[in-house]
Amino acid sequence: MYTIFGSKGFIGNELVLYLKRRRKKFFLPKKNKYKFKKNLGTVIYCVGSDDWQKKVEKGFFSNLGHLQKVIFNNEFKSLIFLSTTRLYINSDKTLENNDIKLNPNVYNDYYNILKIASESLLYNSKKKIKILRLSNVFGFNSK
């Protein structure tokens, strides 16, 4: 069983179509609902905000604020978090164990700081998690 947070977005919608084609069971929580009594199975967290520069608070909640509600208020088998390769933008190398350079005074680093804070929260939660750092996401239905 899969639970997809962010199923109405570009990536989430594609994941739903993929699971349907493979006749997999899935649960699509309603927006702004993060606590459930049942085991959520494999959670895929793809809540995002493409307007984080204009709506700073929305960027925070979609990347970090809602995530903590999901991981600390629910039972699940594992969680897959969709992050970004933008984290490497200021780095010389793109190896996972290398230091990531971020500056809170740089406007464009805000999104990356939210993503790395989310990753750190997940690592420190001691839950079974996987983090996927995606790059250049686009498709036929992209705006």
Is the entire prediction scored with pTM above 0.85? yes
d(CA 24, CA 79) in angstroms, rounded, equals 17
Q: How far is CA 7 from CA 30, 90, 107, 132, in A?
A: 9, 31, 28, 17
Q: What pLDDT sits at residue 141?
A: 60
pLDDT tens for the chain, residues 1 to 143: 999 999 998 899 999 999 999 999 999 999 889 999 999 999 999 997 767 777 888 888 888 889 999 999 999 999 999 998 888 888 888 888 888 899 999 888 888 999 999 999 999 999 999 999 998 877 666 55
